[in-house]
Structure 1
Amino acid sequence: MPDFEYIGYAAGILTTIAFLPQAWQVFRSRSTGDISLTWAITMIAGVFLWLCYGFTKNSMPMMLANSITLLLLGIILWYKIRYR
């Protein structure tokens, strides 16, 4: 069976990059009024669980992508709470 791990890397890169514009906008503007606190907390919980799952599967694409996404979501949540 061929190794399709490159698909995991591609998916991880794309989904992680999707959070960069939002994190940059929040960092630049210090504005989080349009971001739901429930969304942020739910996304963090879900990404954290995907990260844990990646560790159990020893899947480097899942671990890398979800680690970076968790960091970006953490920044967004921090600003959301700080600039309420």
Structure 2
Amino acid sequence: MNWTDTVGYIAATLTTLSFAPQAWLTFRTRDVSGISLGMYSAFTLGVALWLAYGWMVGAWPIVVANGITLLLAMAILGMKLVYGSRR
């Protein structure tokens, strides 16, 4: 692994891990009242596009980080759609 990949993996790890506590809190409490549907929809689409870009250029740090983040974002977006209308 070269220095460029190492920097990419460190950045990917930090940004993905920084997202995890909010995702965990949302999963635990199911409180989505503070989440904007429009913003989260755009965020989820953006992450999906970053994943596609990473795949197309073979940038595995981008693929791995955005793959994990996309799963979390889709789960939270789904919770917003299900639980957001109940409150």
TM bucket by the smaller chain? over 0.9
Q: How does 1:5-84 map to 2 (within 5 A)?
A: 5-84=5-84
Over the matched positions of the two proteins, sequence identity in percent amounts to 43
Q: Which runs of 4+ in 1 moved over 2 A?
A: none
Provide the aligned length of Structure 1 versus Structure 2: 83
Distance 1:26 1:3 in 2: 35
* Structure (1/2) with the larger helix percentage: 2
Distance 2:20 2:47 in 1: 15
Query: What per-residue deviation string (whole Å, max 9, x for no partner) do you get for residues 28-60 of structure 1?
Result: 101000011111101111111111110111111
Question: RMSD of aligned C-alpha atoms?
Answer: 1.0
Query: What per-residue deviation string (whole Å, max 9, x for no partner) do you get for residues 5-28 of structure 1?
Result: 111101111111111111111111
Structure 1, gaps ≥5 residues long: none
The structural deviation recorded for 1:3 is: 3.9
Opposite residue 70 of structure 1, the aligned amino acid is L
Structure 2, gaps ≥5 residues long: none
Q: TM-score, normalised by structure 2?
A: 0.90
Q: TM-score, normalised by structure 1?
A: 0.93
Distance 1:30 1:54 in 2: 31
